[in-house]
Structure 1
Amino acid sequence: MSNEEVEAALAHLIGTDYESSLKAEVSTLTGRERVNGPGDFSTKEYDPKRVTLVTDDKNIITRICFG
């Protein structure tokens, strides 16, 4: 699944409350093994297949990043 396809598949998450259980759902939906949420440790190596769920200060998902 390309990054564009992943963004489309996960678009429904934008504006929703983040819960750590979403990482497993994202992995299942996209086939991506590396999924990070807010506060998760991440290596500095660039991995275009890594999905990061970005949240605001109220823990609402605001965007999806890769790398």
Structure 2
Amino acid sequence: MEPEIQDGLERRIFETIISFPARIDEMETRSEEACRLLARRIADLVRQHERTKDAEPAGGKELR
């Protein structure tokens, strides 16, 4: 079962992955399903980073 693209960020990441040329020494090709899963993982990491960044005080982490 192919995973569905969840949002615009995930779609942009997926489109970048699927269109990026494979390395010359990489003999296997990536399926669209594998690219969707990779896009989802990357998008989740980006969202997690954004939430963490938004949760920090404006001046960054406090020094104690």
Q: What TM-score bracket applies, with the shorter chain setting the length?
A: under 0.3
TM (norm. structure 1) is: 0.25
Q: Higher helix share goes to which structure?
A: 2
TM (norm. structure 2) is: 0.26
Q: Higher strand share goes to which structure?
A: 1
